[in-house]
Homo-oligomer: A and B are copies of this chain.
Amino acid sequence: MSTGQLIVPVCLADLEANAYASLPKNALDYYRSGANDMQTLRDNQDAFERIRLRPRILRDVSKVSTETTLLGHTVRTPICFSPTAMQRMAHDEGEKATARAAAKAKTCMILSSWSTTTAEDTIKAGKDVPVVPESDSSALPLYWFQLYVYHDRAAAERLIRRVEKAGYKALVITVDTPFLGRRLADVRNVFKLPNHLTMANFETKESNITMANVLEKTQTTQQKESSLAAYVVSQIDPTLSWKDIAWVRSITNLPIVVKGVLTAEDAKAACELGCEGILVSNHGGRQLDGVLATIDALPEVVHVANEYSKKQNRPIEVYLDGGIRKGTDVLKALALGAKAVFLGRPVLYGLAHNGEEGVSLMLELLQKELELSMALAGCCSTADLGPHNVQFGPYGSPYHPAHQSRASKL
């Protein structure tokens, strides 16, 4: 724990600065890094800055509601939590603290397969938070489970049964990680999970490979690098394809969200397979460096989802994560068609700040920014937001994303 000077946070960047000053190097590097040159990591934020807002004036904005629904469940805000692995490196309460903050905010948390708390313990922590019913809203906390599909399909199925039973309401299948992206700092650090922590959903007494022993068990001759990268090689199934999604579909009634779509082409495939949701994501710039920024990819995916919604006469929801740090980022994503946005690193920095309270503070700061942004843009509800609120650059840039859509040419 470094002794860097901490500041009173008034925005998410402050929480990030504090985390940089306080987290141990091993954990900080793991959390903050993107793959290789981290071009996509930067572009995720830069792409939001390139978009200009077109605010509307003189509308009654005395009441701004951010309430929305996710796959039929009402939540209080479209700002939700992405799955991030190993939250207990940031704060001892880790995933439990996050679950409680999500409960209090009545938002949606996606738990990572690689949590350092079991799926059961995490959701229990959230459910134990007393939910005060409110007259003006039916919003409730919501938990989804993020699935990495392992070589061992029987184990995958067992895990699905566990999360169904525990009360998770959707499976978020991460599809951008057949192998782990190369994060140079982790390679240099020979990153591994601290000894007192485990991949809680998998590391039973019987498990052969753990984050602690993976390097020894798998890499006798090679140069030691990131233990997580080695773990992924040994455990995750890189043959995963659309037919496996069909298999998951066949064994569970939980709705399926595909996490990691960046093109109209793949959005089309997800729709045809009957997925309920698409999470536009580049894994926070941690997998393939140089891919599209998520906000740049969003319009074409939304375009496809809308077309299939009509054709198949069912709702298909599109979400986005990557680079969300300000209320106006949320607003831009919603305006371009995202039903909700998800936060990765900010949750970790909130945890590092002060566990559950830190996460709540982080969310409150961002929620306030979103509400203020909506009011100043002349929008009282998420339904008010649309492509007319944004423009892809300064004077002369297109603002109807459909304008240059490629989807129509597929």
Instruction: Please list the residues of chain A having a beta carbon within 8 angstroms of any beta carbon in chain B.
Output: 8, 10-11, 36-37, 39, 43, 47, 49-62, 175-176, 178-179, 181-182, 184, 187-188, 237-242, 244-245, 258, 260-263, 265-266, 269, 287-293, 295-296, 299, 326-328, 332, 368-369, 372-373, 375-377, 388, 391-392, 394-399, 401, 404, 406
Contact = CB atoms under 8 A, between A and B. Distances in A.
A244 B62 CA distance: 14
A238 B55 contact: no
Nearest to A263: B54
A60 B241 contact: yes
Contacts of A244: 58
B55 A36 contact: no
A18 to B, nearest CB: 14
B62 A239 contact: yes
A332 B288 CA distance: 12
Contacts of A53: 288, 290-292
Looking at A175, A245, A266, A397, the one whose CB has the most chain B CB atoms below 10 A away is A266
A293 B237 CA distance: 39
B260 A57 contact: yes
A270 to B, nearest CB: 9
A238 B52 CA distance: 23
Given A10-B188, A290-B51, A179 B262 contact: no
Looking at A59, A287, A399, the one whose CB has the most chain B CB atoms below 10 A away is A59
Contacts of A60: 238-241
A368 B397 CA distance: 34
B187 A37 contact: no
Given A176-B57, A182-B372, A262-B54, A292 B396 contact: no
Given A37-B326, A290-B328, A328-B36, A176 B55 contact: yes
B299 A375 contact: no
Contacts of A372: 179, 181-182
B388 A55 contact: no
B288 A328 contact: yes
A182 B58 contact: no
Contacts of A377: 288
Contacts of A399: 406
Contacts of A239: 60-62
A289 B328 contact: yes
B394 A265 contact: no
Looking at A60, A187, A287, A295, the one whose CB has the most chain B CB atoms below 10 A away is A60
A212 B368 CA distance: 24
B394 A181 contact: no
30 contacts: A10-B187, A36-B328, A43-B52, A47-B394, A51-B290, A53-B292, A54-B263, A54-B265, A55-B176, A55-B291, A56-B266, A57-B260, A57-B261, A57-B266, A58-B242, A58-B244, A58-B245, A61-B239, A62-B178, A62-B237, A178-B376, A179-B375, A289-B328, A292-B394, A292-B395, A293-B394, A293-B395, A395-B404, A396-B397, A396-B398
A291 B261 contact: no
A56 B265 contact: yes
Contacts of A262: 54-55, 57
A388 B262 CA distance: 13
B328 A59 contact: no
Contacts of A58: 175, 240-242, 244-245, 258, 266, 269
Contacts of A260: 57
A104 to B, nearest CB: 16
Contacts of A406: 399
Nearest to A238: B62
Nearest to A229: B372
Contacts of A287: 376
A52 B44 CA distance: 12
A327 B258 CA distance: 26
